[in-house]
Amino acid sequence: MKKYTIKDIAQLAGVSKGTVDRVLHKRGKVSEIALEKVTKILNEIEYKPNPIAKNLKINKIYKLAVILPDAQKDSYWEPCSGAIKEVENEFQHFGIEINKFVFDASETSSFLETSLNVITTKPDAILMVPLFQKEAKEIVTKCNINNIKVSVFNNYIDSNYSNNFIGQDLYQSGRVAAKLMDMVLKKGTIGIVHIDEDYQNATHLQEKEKGFRSYFNSLNTLDYDITTIHLNYKKSESFNNSLLSFLDKNPNINGIFVTISKSYVVVEALKERASDIAIVGYDLVKKNIDYLKQGEIDFLIHQKPKQQVYMGLSYLAEYFLFDKEIPSQLLLPLDIVTSENVDGYLM
Amino acid sequence: MKKYTIKDIAQLAGVSKGTVDRVLHKRGKVSEIALEKVTKILNEIEYKPNPIAKNLKINKIYKLAVILPDAQKDSYWEPCSGAIKEVENEFQHFGIEINKFVFDASETSSFLETSLNVITTKPDAILMVPLFQKEAKEIVTKCNINNIKVSVFNNYIDSNYSNNFIGQDLYQSGRVAAKLMDMVLKKGTIGIVHIDEDYQNATHLQEKEKGFRSYFNSLNTLDYDITTIHLNYKKSESFNNSLLSFLDKNPNINGIFVTISKSYVVVEALKERASDIAIVGYDLVKKNIDYLKQGEIDFLIHQKPKQQVYMGLSYLAEYFLFDKEIPSQLLLPLDIVTSENVDGYLM
DNA sequence: TTGTACGCGTTATCAC
DNA sequence: GTGATAACGCGTACAA
């Protein structure tokens, strides 16, 4: 149970600390005899280097960069800043520096520009939201060339391109939404509403829909009828009209599954009609929370952007400082939020 | 933004490192003049001691003790061991040692005996489950006398006795259960089933019931009818009989709220009758998970014993190592678990 | 090829 | 009272 240090090993083997170090790190030349003596001791005891002392002498400051959409335009990203500050605070004494960069999620070019800009700051690692697949891959490739480690969060990207994804299982998340809808409705007609803003969430939303439909397919029943609609949200007026005309065409809709954080715009559109439609959506943005508490939204699934950033950055920091391995995929639990437990998630 | 060290301060104040140290820690004697010079500098800059260097020289090993019910008799506590190992692993290099002690939850005397035993091992802090209020208070008092810091988890205890509780808001947890029941049933008759084992969970279960009923009261409707029953579980046969006779007396029961981790025994009792009763219960123990996946249980609320231990121990470790403050109350989110998201919580 | 000395920031001790 | 210094564990650079 004793904790052995390099000094201990040197003493036991009858060599100097330097030699032990050379054996441990396979650097420099070591004589056969010394190597044997040291390895013998190493086999007998269990040596774990003290991770603290390792980084005592901070001659290297590790620079981490976070690239994410502007929270001013989509408050979904707001909590991420908090996570950045927390991790920075926790690791600053170990020589970790974190910088945040935002882009306009409605402009592919903004993402590309920001990311290229970040690369010129020569960070050791980048944690980013690969909103635009094609451009993200381009950036990742550039990072690889420049020896910058890349982690992605929130949106999945080809595993050829990233060895480290933090987020949720979107397919399963669709199944959770379906289960909730099933519990509430028992049967009826359900609308899946994709609200695609200018940027393409294509794969993101498709996965959720697939999961949602798979649940009902596996029920093997005729009790449900499911229709999908793609809407755009630029002005509320035109959005409302589109949604209402969809309802006119499908007058028996009992539930709506909103695949993105904008459930509140659906609620607001429905206000123009008396209705008793169950709504299941995503994310704890302010307006969603209000409607959840008022009973206008039934369930929200929490995608936990803050925890995603927190985990992503923590792993990177510990990777550089303590050689901790980064899992290739970290899937966070799919938290179900109602009016009664929402407060516990607001931190 | 510069990080100042004691050396820097010494230079700026024109004194030695030793003097600065004496001022900072208020130890030893310092002349008026030196004190003034140093405090002046300290006011101008922001000094944060380097936590790494502080613990480099570990002359003190902090001993933490965890006291909890035997997982062999109630698998609810099983995941706690994992948390202990994780925290131990994370902090062992900082000089933290953790020991686990279990007691028989059906014997007050076992708790008392174990706890007194733990105190004789002279730990720096104890994290415990205050299952038995009276005895727990006795132990806490003894700890205070012996200068042992105490944190409690899972069960609440008078704030006069503990300055650090980690757990959940049980009242609110009852409200969550009620909300779920409401979503599923819309109206009907509901049974609240308390399964009291030999030990008294009294306050624990009462809080949940209060919350549950408060939700329906605030609905201000006559759609629901709620009945409570207290059962004992020693042999499955007699338990089943009691439950079934309760159902005979209340033939219209549509939903059952089980206030403890034993939903599975209710499911098994109901198997003797064809029934379509919604069940909301607690905790991810194996049998509950199986029935949840099979659709026999509708919802489980996750009390997260593992996270409770993890947080409790982490806070204590950081309190000793980094002088981090411990919040007097840490309420964990009330996770809602269904067949579709349960896998994400099993870690 | 190997040993040794030094630095990191803090703290405890010893000498003045 | 106070300043100087060793020690903690590791990595590294340099001298032998």
Tens digit of each residue's pLDDT (9 = 90 or more) over B297-341: 999 999 999 999 999 999 999 999 888 889 999 999 999 999 999
**H/E stretch holding A36:** helix A32-44
Distance between CA atoms of residues A125 and A320, nearest Å: 9
Search chain B and give the residue with CA nearest A336.
Answer: B336
Which nucleotides of strand D come closer than 7 angstroms to any CB of the protein? 1-5, 7-14
CA distances from B178 to A236, B171, B207, B260, B341 (A): 35, 11, 13, 15, 20
DSSP B21: H
Q: What tokens appear for B67 in the block?
A: 């006291």
Q: Read off the amino acid at residue A193.
A: V
Distance between CA atoms of residues A153 and B326, nearest Å: 31
Structural domains in chain A (count):
3
A7 sits within 7 Å of strand D by its CB: yes
Using CB atoms, pick whichever of A184, A331, A336 lies closest to residue B338.
Answer: A336
Q: Could you tell me if A196 and A258 lie in one domain?
A: yes
Instruction: Answer whether A94 sits within 8 Å of B332, measured CB to CB.
Output: no
Nearest by Cα to A340 from B166, B183, B296, B192: B183
Report pLDDT for A198. 54
Report pLDDT for A48. 86
Which residues in chain A belong to E strands, given as ranges?
62-69, 96-103, 125-128, 149-153, 165-167, 188-196, 224-232, 253-258, 278-282, 299-302, 329-331, 335-337
pLDDT tens, position by position, B55-80:
887 768 899 999 999 999 999 999 99
Q: Are A132 and A111 in contact (CB under 8 A)?
A: yes
Task: Please say whether the dihedral angle defined by the alpha carbons of residues B167, B168, B169 and B173, taken in this order, is positive or negative.
Answer: negative
Search chain B and give the residue with CA nearest A186.
Answer: B184
From residues 25-64 of A, which are strand D contacts by CB within 7 A? 25, 49-50, 53-54, 56-57
- Examine residue A194 and state whether it is found in any structural domain, yes or no: yes
- Examine residue A345 and state whether it is found in any structural domain, yes or no: no
Q: Could you tell me if A174 and A110 lie in one domain?
A: no
- Examine residue B336 and state whether it is found in any structural domain, yes or no: no
State the pLDDT confidence band at B162, using cuts at 50, 70 and 90.
confident
Nearest by Cα to A212 from A199, A226, A222: A226
Task: Determine the residue among B220, B335, B339, B345 to mutate to test chain A binding: the one whose Cβ has the most chain A Cβ atoms within 10 Å.
Answer: B335
Q: Could you tell me if A119 and A242 lie in one domain?
A: no
Distance between CA atoms of residues A316 and A318, nearest Å: 5
Nearest by Cα to B87 from B302, B304, B316: B316
pLDDT tens, position by position, B216-241:
999 999 999 999 999 988 888 888 99
**Which residues in chain B have their CB less than 8 angstroms from residue A178's CB?**
340
Place of tokens 């595993």: A159
Using CB atoms, pick whichever of A55, A175, A340 lies closest to residue B179.
Answer: A340
Confirm or reject contact between B47 and chain A (CB < 8 A): no
Q: Read off the amino acid at residue B90.
A: E
Q: What is the CATH number of the domain that holds A79?
A: 3.40.50.2300
Task: Determine the residue among B299, B335, B340 to mutate to test chain A binding: the one whose Cβ has the most chain A Cβ atoms within 10 Å.
Answer: B340
Report pLDDT for A97. 93
**H/E stretch holding B150:** strand B149-153
- Examine residue B342 and state whether it is found in any structural domain, yes or no: no
Q: Are A209 and A192 in contact (CB under 8 A)?
A: yes
Confirm or reject contact between B251 and chain A (CB < 8 A): no
- Alpha helices, H only, chain B: 6-13, 17-25, 32-44, 51-56, 79-91, 108-120, 133-145, 170-185, 202-219, 236-249, 263-270, 286-294, 305-322, 342-345
Interface of B with A in 162-191 (CB under 8 A): 169, 172, 175-176, 178-180, 183-184
Q: In this model, does residue B163 exceed pLDDT 80?
A: no
For residue B32, which nucleotide's C1' is closest to its Cα? D1
- Examine residue A275 and state whether it is found in any structural domain, yes or no: yes
For residue B25, which nucleotide's C1' is closest to its Cα? C11
User: How much is the average pLDDT of B188-208?
Assistant: 82
pLDDT tens, position by position, B29-46:
888 898 999 999 889 888
Q: Are A345 and B332 in contact (CB under 8 A)?
A: no
Measured in angstroms, the CA of B290 and the nearest CA of chain A are apart by 17
Q: What tokens appear for A7 in the block?
A: 């000094």
**Residue numbers of the domain that contains B290:** 170-302
Confirm or reject contact between B345 and chain A (CB < 8 A): yes
Q: What are phi and psi of B65, to 5 degrees?
A: -120, 135
Nearest by Cα to B24 from B8, B47, B1: B47
Report pLDDT for A201. 60
Q: Could you tell me if A278 and A194 lie in one domain?
A: yes
Q: Could you tell me if A210 and A289 lie in one domain?
A: yes
Distance between CA atoms of residues A125 and B295, nearest Å: 45
Q: Could you tell me if A201 and A260 lie in one domain?
A: yes
- Examine residue A121 and state whether it is found in any structural domain, yes or no: yes
Distance between CA atoms of residues A277 and B32, nearest Å: 75
Report pLDDT for A140. 95
Report pLDDT for A160. 80
Distance between CA atoms of residues B160 and B145, nearest Å: 15
Interface of B with A in 205-244 (CB under 8 A): 215
Q: How far is the CA of A35 from the C1' of D13 (A)?
A: 22
Q: How far is the CA of B29 from the C1' of D3 (A)?
A: 13
Sequential DSSP letters for A168-195: --HHHHHHHHHHHHHHHHSSEEEEEEEE
A87 sits within 7 Å of strand C by its CB: no
From first CA to last CA, the distance across chain A in angstroms is 40
Q: Contacts from A208-211 at CB under 8 Å and sequence distance 24+? A: A208/A170, A208/A171, A208/A173, A208/A174, A208/A177, A208/A259, A209/A174, A209/A259, A210/A171, A210/A174, A211/A170, A211/A171, A211/A172, A211/A173, A211/A174, A211/A175, A211/A176, A211/A177, A211/A178
pLDDT tens, position by position, B73-115:
999 999 999 999 999 988 988 889 999 999 998 889 999 999 9
Q: Could you tell me if A158 and A184 lie in one domain?
A: no
- Examine residue A344 and state whether it is found in any structural domain, yes or no: no
Between A189 and B200, the more confident residue is A189
Instruction: Answer whether A333 sits within 8 Å of B336, measured CB to CB.
Output: no
Indicate the pTM of the whole model.
0.92
User: How much is the average pLDDT of B123-143?
Assistant: 94
Q: What angle do CA A86, A90, A91 make, to 5 degrees?
A: 120
**Which residues in chain B have their CB less than 8 angstroms from residue A53's CB?**
56
Q: Could you tell me if B179 and B295 lie in one domain?
A: yes
DSSP A321: H
A274 sits within 7 Å of strand C by its CB: no
User: How much is the average pLDDT of B120-145?
Assistant: 94
Q: What tokens appear for A288 in the block?
A: 């969603």
- Examine residue A252 and state whether it is found in any structural domain, yes or no: yes
Confirm or reject contact between A331 and chain B (CB < 8 A): yes
Q: In this model, does residue B27 exceed pLDDT 90?
A: no
Show pLDDT as tens, one digit a residue, over chain A (347 residues). 678 899 999 988 999 999 999 999 888 888 999 999 999 999 988 888 888 888 887 778 899 999 999 999 999 999 999 999 999 988 988 889 999 999 998 889 999 999 999 999 999 999 999 988 889 999 999 999 999 999 999 998 887 887 799 999 999 999 999 999 999 999 999 999 999 765 566 678 899 999 999 999 999 999 999 999 999 888 888 889 999 999 999 989 999 999 999 999 999 999 888 778 999 999 999 999 999 999 999 999 999 999 999 999 999 999 998 888 999 999 999 999 999 999 999 97
Q: In this model, does residue B198 exceed pLDDT 60?
A: no
Q: Could you tell me if A179 and A269 lie in one domain?
A: yes
For residue B14, which nucleotide's C1' is closest to its Cα? D3
Report pLDDT for B1. 60
B54 sits within 7 Å of strand C by its CB: yes
Instruction: Answer whether B52 sits within 8 Å of A52, measured CB to CB.
Output: yes
Q: Could you tell me if A34 and A118 lie in one domain?
A: no
Report pLDDT for A197. 65
Q: Could you tell me if A289 and A269 lie in one domain?
A: yes
Instruction: Answer whether A52 sits within 8 Å of B55, measured CB to CB.
Output: yes
Instruction: Answer whether B338 sits within 8 Å of A298, measured CB to CB.
Output: no
Distance between CA atoms of residues A248 and A324, nearest Å: 56
How many alpha carbons lie under 13 Å from residue A85 in its C-beta half-sphere? 5
**H/E stretch holding B191:** strand B188-196
Q: Could you tell me if A266 and A189 lie in one domain?
A: yes
Measured in angstroms, the CA of A269 and the nearest CA of chain B are apart by 23
**H/E stretch holding A117:** helix A108-120
A26 sits within 7 Å of strand C by its CB: no
Distance between CA atoms of residues A22 and A2, nearest Å: 23
Distance between CA atoms of residues A150 and A130, nearest Å: 11
Q: Are B205 and B282 in contact (CB under 8 A)?
A: no
Report pLDDT for B111. 95
Confirm or reject contact between A333 and chain B (CB < 8 A): yes
Q: What angle do CA B293, B299, B303 make, to 5 degrees?
A: 105
Instruction: Answer whether B335 sits within 8 Å of A339, measured CB to CB.
Output: no
